Structure 1
Amino acid sequence: MIRYRYPAMLAGATVVLAALLANLAFGATSIDLRSVVRALLAFDADDYDHFVVVYQRLPRALIAVFLGATMACGGAVLQGLTRNPLASPGILGINSGAMLFVIVGAFIFNLPMEWQGVAAIAGGLFGFVSCLFVTRMTGMSKDPRGLALILSGAVLSMLYGSVANAIMLASPSRRSDFLSWASGNINHVYVERLMDFWWLGALGLGLLMVLARPLTLVTFGREKAASAGVDVSRVTWISVGAVVVSVSSAVAICGPIGFVGLVTPHIVRPFVGASFARALPANALIGAAICLLADLAARTVFAPHILHTGIMMDLLGGLVFAIIVKRYYLSPGVREASR
């Protein structure tokens, strides 16, 4: 496996570049690659194609890259810490908690956009902690498969999403401002949100990279990590905090989009191994590529209609979720081992 790791990283960077160029070139109208490059390097305000690339497609692409990188890295860390293949920000309440607090802050407390990022982070932390609390209250926190954690997260995610939708329905005059956002929508109109909150995601991802080595040791076993001098509790909670900050900042920008955080670590892991020093950059690249391609598909597959990217992700995510459940929980070998 070792000899494939660095070629895999190069391949991931190539896929991201190709997905980025495709995202900028294709849409309601196709723009040739030469015009795309010229728009980026020598923008001409009188050229309509340049305007479309720079002011419509490029902001969407940047949001997709940011979203994919943060969600994929968050999913990789959560799966490593919980040792559960179904763990992801969308499953463990982070996405829905962040969405709920943004809606509550905007609709009830009239928070300005600059403070909605803070509300999203508080909500993401609330969603994850409440998931752990419910799991402990059920008395199944010691389940080696972590099934109770996943079920608690799924139920709470539905609850928080329903409450957020109910609040929006109670205020029809403001509902249209957040309806698209709440369904997970990569859109160039959210570029101001990206400018306000991108540094939070970068801070969280940077912190995870700093903790990559001790985090890898923790995933190999708490006892082994402690014997190597790692403060397991501190590393675990700082890592979770970094995931919450980065993922919640992405939710604050374009709403909850969960599929990429679940599936990307499964794509990356066979090629780069368990080391987070390699897994985090690889997840960021592949996650960005998946979001770019999903956004492109949402704009072109059902043309002239444009789907929200979150809906496109859900269409794929449901299928992948079923495959992972069958492989890790319902296969004969797993059932025998759990008895």
Structure 2
Amino acid sequence: MTMRTGLPVGLAPAGAVLILVAAFLGNLSLGATSISPRSVVEALLFFDQEEFDHFIVAYQRLPRALIAMFVGAVMACGGCVLQGLTRNPLASPSLLGVSSGATLFVIAGIFLLDIPLAWQGVVAIAGGLFGFASCLFVTRLTGMSRDPRGLGLILSGAVLSMLYSGLANALLLASPSRRSEFLSWVSGNINHAYADRLYSFWWLGAIGVALLFVLARPLTLVMLGREKAASAGVDVERVRFIALAAVVVSASAAVAVCGPIGFVGLIVPHMVRPFAGAAFKKALPANAVLGAATCLLADLAARTAFTPFVLHTGIMMDLLGGIAFAIIVKRCYLSPGARTAL
């Protein structure tokens, strides 16, 4: 595989940060009630509980924006690492069973075992590990792991994701008394009501992403090839295992906060790669920033595009991500001379 160092565009990192700042302020300013940027800044720096606009910013829009940034950054970094390690341009937490497995385990744990909030993050991680492991198992069991294009892994993940999502919805239907409490969550709903979930589980996602940052250099060497990485002193199997575990833990923590938000981990790495290249030392920070910005913009569109109706952010991401998914499939699998690796 040929490594690319990225385009020599010095303004790219600054541009990504500016996009994030603009998306953050836009998310706090726009909505059913428009609030001026000045009032937003005042609410953040000089909060006055007597001001209604300050209350909206601090207790409704700010928690929602923080959740969107957390989920976007975590999922984008996870997709970046998965696409690199599997050498598959379609790999992401939502397409390899991680998100759906975490969703199923959380719903099952709550509805069948009545687990408290404090344990839902751990259950989500167990579900994410189960979803990813079962995806790998089915791929090997059917012999599709030998496909040089890696399409078998994606097909296994897509089928299992539909199965686990269907089981989670079946559990919801089986308990009408509690259905309304989690019906929004299971479809991916970034909402200020889940601020307590962000407070409980953000550190799990942070630990996972921090591990990926620490492993950036050895991960890049692994992408160059097993022999080259080993000759540079990299324990390839250990690095791969820790990196995949970190992706599962961080993505599952994001699911535990607001439910499954799909396609962020698929789209953002493709947006970043032309500018940051394939080296994880540059790609991971760029994915974190642009992933957070993308999720903020998707959440803003979900709240404002169909006024007076408000969509769940997960549904908006599915609408946008479905189009991107089709484009990526055509470019990477159906176009003449399509590449099989990143």
Using the alignment, how far apart are the partners of 2:263 and 2:153 within structure 1?
A: 18
Using the alignment, how far apart are the partners of 2:6 and 2:306 within structure 1?
A: 41
List aligned pairs for 1:1-339, cutoff 5 A.
4=8, 6-334=10-338
Query: How far has the Cα of 1:334 moved from its partner?
Result: 3.0
TM-score (norm 1): 0.97
Q: Which amino acid aligns with 1:310?
A: G
Using the alignment, how far apart are the partners of 1:35 and 1:181 within structure 2?
A: 31
Q: Which amino acid aligns with 1:154?
A: A
CA-based RMSD: 1.3
Using the alignment, how far apart are the partners of 1:242 and 1:2 within structure 2?
A: 25
Using the alignment, how far apart are the partners of 1:190 and 1:144 within structure 2?
A: 42
Using the alignment, how far apart are the partners of 1:3 and 1:159 within structure 2?
A: 41
Using the alignment, how far apart are the partners of 2:111 and 2:270 within structure 1?
A: 38
SS in 2 for 1:334: coil
Using the alignment, how far apart are the partners of 1:172 and 1:199 within structure 2?
A: 33
**Conserved? CA contact 1:299–1:307, under 8 Å:** yes
**Conserved? CA contact 2:82–2:91, under 8 Å:** yes
SS in 1 for 2:144: coil
Unmatched 5+ stretches in structure 1 = none
Using the alignment, how far apart are the partners of 2:93 and 2:124 within structure 1?
A: 13
SS in 2 for 1:328: helix
Q: Which amino acid aligns with 1:257?
A: I
**Conserved? CA contact 2:85–2:240, under 8 Å:** yes
Using the alignment, how far apart are the partners of 2:318 and 2:223 within structure 1?
A: 29
Using the alignment, how far apart are the partners of 2:313 and 2:191 within structure 1?
A: 9
Unmatched 5+ stretches in structure 2 = none
Q: 1:7 to 1:231 in 2, by over 3 A?
A: same
Q: Which amino acid aligns with 1:153?
A: G
Query: How far has the Cα of 1:5 moved from its partner?
Result: 5.2
Q: Which amino acid aligns with 1:306?
A: V
**Conserved? CA contact 2:6–2:273, under 8 Å:** no
Using the alignment, how far apart are the partners of 1:176 and 1:224 within structure 2?
A: 53
**Conserved? CA contact 1:268–1:282, under 8 Å:** yes
Query: How far has the Cα of 1:131 moved from its partner?
Result: 0.3
Q: Which amino acid aligns with 1:140?
A: M
Using the alignment, how far apart are the partners of 2:8 and 2:276 within structure 1?
A: 7
Using the alignment, how far apart are the partners of 1:22 and 1:254 within structure 2?
A: 21
Using the alignment, how far apart are the partners of 1:313 and 1:73 within structure 2?
A: 17
Using the alignment, how far apart are the partners of 1:209 and 1:150 within structure 2?
A: 25
**Conserved? CA contact 1:5–1:272, under 8 Å:** no
SS in 2 for 1:327: helix
TM-score (norm 2): 0.97
CA displacement, residues 46-100 of structure 1 (integer Å, 9 cap, x when unaligned): 0000000000000000000000000000000000000000000000000000000
SS in 2 for 1:145: coil
Using the alignment, how far apart are the partners of 1:302 and 1:4 within structure 2?
A: 39
How many residues get paired? 337
Using the alignment, how far apart are the partners of 1:232 and 1:333 within structure 2?
A: 30
**Conserved? CA contact 1:95–1:247, under 8 Å:** yes
